[in-house]
A and B are shown apart, each in its own frame.
Chain A
Amino acid sequence: MSTQPRYQERELKVVGTRPLRPDGVDKVTGRARYGADISLPGQLIGKVLRSPHAHARIKSIDTSLAAALPGVKAIVTRDDFADMPEEYAAAGELTINFRDVTRNMMAREKVLYDGHPLAAVAATSESIAREALKLIRVEYEILPHVIDVIAAMQPDAPLLHEEQYTVGVNPRPARPSNLAKRLEFKLGDVEAGFSRAELIIEREFNTKPVHQGYIEPQACLASYTEDGQAELWTSTQGHFVFRAQCAKLLQMEISKIRVTPTEIGGGFGGKNNIYNEPLAIALSKKSHRPVKMVMTREEVFRATGPTSGGNVKVKLGATRAGRITAATAELSFQAGAFPGSSVAPASMCAFTRYDIPNVRVVGHDVTVNRPKVAAYRAPGAPIAAFAVESVIDEMAKKLGIDPIEFRLRNAAKEGTQTYYGPKLGAIGYIQTLEAARAHPHYSAPLGPDQGRGVATGFWFNIGNETTAALNINEDGTVALMMGTIDVAGGSRAAMAMMVAEELGIPVDRVRPHIGDTSSLGFNFITAGSRGTFAGGMACVVAAREAIEKLRSRAAGIRDVPLEAVVWKDGHACPAEDGARQFAPLSLADIARLAGKTGGPISGHAELNVQGAGPGFGAHIVDVEVDRQTGSIKILRYTAVQDVGRAIHPAYVEGQLQGGVVQGIGWALNEEYVYDADGILANPGFLDYRVPVASDLPFIDTFIVEVPNPNHPYGVRGCGEVPIIAPLAAIANAVENALGIRFCDLPLSPPKVLQGMDEAAAGGD
Chain B
Amino acid sequence: MTKHHVSATVNGDAVEFLCDSQETLLEVLRDELRLNGTKEGCGTGDCGACSVMLDGRLVCSCLVLGVEAEGRSIETIEGMAVGRELHVLQRKFLEHAALQCGICTPGILIAARALLERKPDPTEAEVRCGLAGNLCRCTGYHKIVEAVLDAAREMRGQG
> Is B105's beta carbon under 8 Å from chain A?
yes
Residue of B nearest to A216 (CB): B103
A654 proximity list for chain B (CB < 8 A) = 97, 100, 138-140, 142-143
Interface band, chain A: 35 or more
Chain A neighbourhood of B138, CB < 8 A = 266, 488-489, 654, 658
Q: Is the CB of A216 within 8 A of B129?
A: no
A219's closest neighbor in chain B, by CB? B40
**Chain A contacts of B15 at CB under 8 A?**
none
CB pair A29 B101 closer than 8 Å: no
Contact of B37 among A30, A653, A657 (CB under 8 A): A30
> How many Å from the CB of A646 to the closest CB on chain B?
12
Question: Which of A32, A650, A686, A694 touches B128 (beta carbons < 8 Å)?
Answer: A694
* B residues near A127, Cβ cutoff 8 Å: 20, 22
Q: Report chain A residues within 8 Å CB of B90.
A: 28-29
| Residues of B48-79 contacting chain A, CB below 8 A | 49, 76-78
| Interface status of B10 (Cβ within 8 A of chain A) | no
Across-interface contacts of A684 in B (CB, < 8 A): 42, 44, 46
Q: Closest CB-CB distance, A659 to chain B, in whole Å?
A: 8
Report the Cα distance A659→B137, complex, angstroms: 9
Specify which chain A residues have a CB less than 8 angstroms from the CB of B106 in the assembled complex. 28, 30
| B118-150 near A? 1/0 per residue, CB < 8 Å | 000000110111011111111111111110000
Known contacts: A265-B101, A686-B46, A699-B142. The answer to whether A297 contacts B41 by CB under 8 A is yes
Interface string of A181-212 (1 = CB under 8 A from B): 00000000000000000000000000000001
Chain A residue nearest to B133 (CB atoms) is: A692
The proximity string for A residues 396-429 relative to B, scoring 1 for CB distances below 8 Å and 0 otherwise, is 0000000000000000000000000000000000
Least CB distance from B103 to A in Å reads 3
Q: For residue A7, which residues in chain B have a CB less than 8 angstroms away from its CB?
A: none
Let me know if A28 and B137 touch, CB within 8 A.
no
Q: Are A37 and B36 in contact (CB under 8 A)?
A: yes
Tell which of A17-25, A152-160, A464-472 binds the partner. A17-25
What's the Cα separation between A27 and B101 when bound, in Å? 8
Task: Check if A692 sits within 8 Å of B36, measured CB to CB.
Answer: no
Chain B residue at smallest Cβ distance from A23: B102
Contact B141 A696 (CB under 8 A): yes
- B46 cross-chain contacts in A, Cβ below 8 A: 297, 684-686
Please indicate which of the listed interface residues A18, A265, A296, A490 has the most CB atoms of chain B within 10 Å of its own CB. A265
Does A31 make an interface contact (CB < 8 A)? yes
Docked complex: A650-670 residues within 8 A CB-CB of B: 650-651, 653-654, 657-662
B18 within 8 A of A: no
- A37's nearest neighbour on chain B, judged by CB, is B36
Flag whether A583 is at the interface (Cβ < 8 A).
Answer: no
Cross-chain contact of B131 among A24, A267, A690, A693 (Cβ < 8 A):
A693
Provide the main secondary structure of the chain A interface.
loop
A620 CA to B90 CA in the complex, in Å? 32
The count of chain B contact residues (Cβ–Cβ below 8 Å) is 58
User: For chain B, what secondary structure do more than half of its interface residues adopt (helix, strand, loop), or is it mixed?
Assistant: loop
A 518-551 binary contact with B (CB < 8 Å = 1; else 0): 0000000000000000000000000000000000
Contacts of B81 in A (CB 8 A): 29
| Inter-subunit contact A214/B36 (CB<8 Å) | no
- Given contacts A20-B94, A661-B140, A28 and B86 within 8 Å (CB-CB): yes
Contact A661 B97 (CB under 8 A): no
Cβ of A215 and Cβ of B143 under 8 Å apart?
A: no
Min distance, Cβ B102 to any Cβ of chain A, angstroms: 3
Instruction: Identify which of A215, A651, A659, A691 contacts B49 (C-beta below 8 A).
Output: A215
Asked if A658 and B129 sit within 8 Å, CB to CB, the answer is no
Q: Are the CB atoms of B101 and A214 closer together than 8 Å?
A: yes
Instruction: Report if B25 contacts A (CB, 8 A).
Output: no
Which B residues touch A264, using CB under 8 A? 101
- Beta-carbon contact of A217 and B100 below 8 Å: no
The listed residue with most A CB atoms (<10 A of its CB), out of B41, B42, B78, B138, is B138
- Chain B contacts of A213 at CB under 8 A? 135, 137
Q: A20-B95, A266-B138, A696-B128 are in contact. Are A658 and B41 (CB under 8 A)?
A: no
A interface residue numbers (CB < 8 A to B): 18, 20-21, 23-34, 36-37, 127, 212-217, 263-268, 294, 296-297, 487-490, 650-651, 653-654, 657-662, 684-686, 690-694, 696, 698-699
The 28 listed contacts between A and B (C-beta, < 8 Å) are A27-B99, A28-B99, A29-B90, A30-B36, A30-B37, A215-B135, A215-B137, A216-B103, A265-B41, A265-B101, A266-B100, A266-B137, A266-B138, A296-B43, A654-B100, A657-B140, A658-B100, A661-B139, A684-B42, A685-B42, A685-B44, A685-B135, A692-B135, A693-B131, A693-B136, A694-B131, A698-B142, A698-B145
* B interface residue numbers (CB < 8 A to A): 20, 22, 30, 35-44, 46-47, 49, 76-78, 80-81, 86, 90, 93-97, 99-106, 109, 124-125, 127-129, 131-146
- 6 additional contacts, CB 8 Å, given A28-B102, A213-B135, A685-B42? A24-B99, A488-B101, A653-B142, A692-B132, A692-B141, A696-B140
